[in-house]
Amino acid sequence: MRMAQYILRRVVFAVFTLFGLSVIIFVMARVLPGDPARMAAGPRAPEWVVEQIREQLNLDKPLHVQYFLWLRDVFNGDLGYSIFTKRSVTQDVIEYLPASLELIAVAAVFQILGAFALGVLAGMYAYRWVDNAIRLFAYIGISIPAFGWAVIFQLVFAWKLDLFPVQGMLSVEAPERITGFVTIDSLITGRFDAFTDFLKHAVLPAMALAIGPMAQEARLIRSGMIDNRYKDYILLMESHGVPKRKLMFKYLLKPSAIPAVTVMGMDIASLLGNAFLVEIVFNWPGFSRYAISVMLNKDLNAIVAVVMVIGVIFIIANIIVDIIAAYLDPRIRYVERGE
């Protein structure tokens, strides 16, 4: 029951956070320099055309009226009209978001497995050559940005060794669009060739996105394990003959992973906003590339939609992280209740 109340409190906070985010980004998008109506009409369009577009976008109304009209449309599933793609922003989100989410999902698998494997290994063999090698890898992984790894992986594994495709999301014919997710649609329609082809295309960009956060989280896990290794409860269980493997994975790793899990959730959520350069390098038709394009073209409705989508993903990731952290350390949910 305490866990249910804890989750409910987090969800309520999330709703208020989204409302505040929508107000802030809506106002900021409209006070930025530049006339979106003029940009949509073109520099040589007559003024009456610009005024007509301004009326269509409700830009001729007061700011608070614009916001409530936008909010009403959002609740009806309408995110507005995009002056960049010349179609509904909702349609743009449905088309571009799945590709980025699938790429992030693959990157998250690499990130989580790699962080725990390297962090635990470094913690078990602290201050030995294995630990030193992992720490050196972590420093290199953090210091090189994701787009740098993207270029390196593309040159080495795609061009030189020819192990993975160079660009794009698919080399074969795309499966019938049902959910918008290539992996799910491939499995539903029995197109296993498309499923495996997608994974081949996703490996390099996903690794480029994952390697930096993975290195950082591995260091956190290592530090946590070293800090907790000589705590009284660990020494007590060790003196009672608890097997080393059980001691390491059941009693030591659990509290040591809490800081890393917290950072891990935020890192995975941030990939959606930070993946645009990797998507450009690999010509990945994703949401991050779309986000940069609409921002450069001051596409108001699309900008607000992009920020809100990223905000929703951050909030969902934050709630999941809070639940996992509360499960790993029950003291967290007791503190929330003031007990």
- Residue 119 pLDDT greater than 80, yes or no: yes
Q: Is residue 326 part of a domain?
A: no
pLDDT for 115: 93
pLDDT higher at 41 or 72:
72
Do residue 73 and residue 101 come from a single domain? no
Is residue 257 domain-resident?
yes
Instruction: Say if 154 falls within a structural domain.
Output: yes
Res. 215 pLDDT band, cuts 50 70 90: very high
Mean pLDDT of 236-248: 76
Q: What is the pTM of this model?
A: 0.84
Name the percent of the chain lying above pLDDT 70: 91
Tokens of residue 86, six digits: 């010349």
**Domain endpoint, select from 20, 54, 84:** 84
Beta-bridge partners for 87: 82
**Residue 9 is part of which domain span?**
2-84
Closest by CA position to 40, among listed 94, 95, 90, 87: 87
Same domain, 70 and 136: no
Together in a domain, 198 and 144:
yes
Element (H, E) at 163: none
Asked if residue 101 and residue 48 are part of one domain, the reply reads no
Q: Which positions ≥6 away from 90 have C-beta within 8 Å?
A: 77, 78, 79, 305
Can you tell me whether residue 127 is helix, strand or coil?
coil
21, part of any domain: yes
Residues 282 and 187 in one domain: yes
Burial per residue of 273-300, b for 16 or more beta-carbon CB atoms within 10 angstroms, e otherwise: bbbbbbbebbebebbbbbbebbbebbbb
Residues 168 and 249 in one domain: yes
The CA distance from 266 to 262, in Å, is 7
pLDDT at 195: 93
* Rounded to 5°, angle at Cα 208 from 194 and 199: 10
Least confident of 50-59, 220-229, 288-297: 50-59
61-118 pLDDT, tens digit per residue, is: 888 888 888 888 888 888 888 878 888 889 999 999 999 999 999 999 999 999 999 9
pLDDT of residue 254: 79
- Residues 143, 266: one domain? yes
Give residue-wise pLDDT tens across range 135-182: 999 999 989 999 899 999 999 998 888 889 888 898 888 888 888 899
Q: Which of 56, 84, 112 is the last residue of a domain?
A: 84
Decide if 301 is inside a domain.
no
Residue 105 lies in a domain: yes
Mean pLDDT of the chain: 84
Q: Any idea what the CATH number is for the domain that residue 282 is in?
A: 1.10.3720.10
241 and 292 belong to one structural domain: yes
Count of domains forming the chain: 2
Boundary-marking domain end, from 276, 296, 316: 296
φ, ψ for residue 55, nearest 5 deg = -70, -40
User: What pLDDT sits at residue 43?
Assistant: 67
The answer to whether 235 and 83 have CB atoms below 8 angstroms apart is: no
Asked if the structure places residue 311 within a domain, the reply is no
- The reply to whether 145 and 77 lie within a common domain is no
Q: Same domain, yes or no, for 217 and 117? A: yes
Residue 223 domain-assigned (yes or no): yes
Q: Please tell me whether residues 115 and 76 are part of one structural domain.
A: no
| 267-318 confidence digits (pLDDT tens) | 888 888 788 889 888 989 889 888 888 888 778 888 888 888 988 888 888 8
Res. 255 pLDDT band, cuts 50 70 90? confident
Asked whether residue 168 falls in the same domain as residue 261, the answer is yes
Give residue 33's region: left, alpha or beta (phi > 0; psi -120 to 50): beta
Strand partners, 81: 88
* pLDDT single digits (tens) 229-238: 777 777 777 7
Give how far Cα 52 sits from Cα of 57, 68, 69, 71, 244, Å. Answer: 9, 21, 18, 22, 73
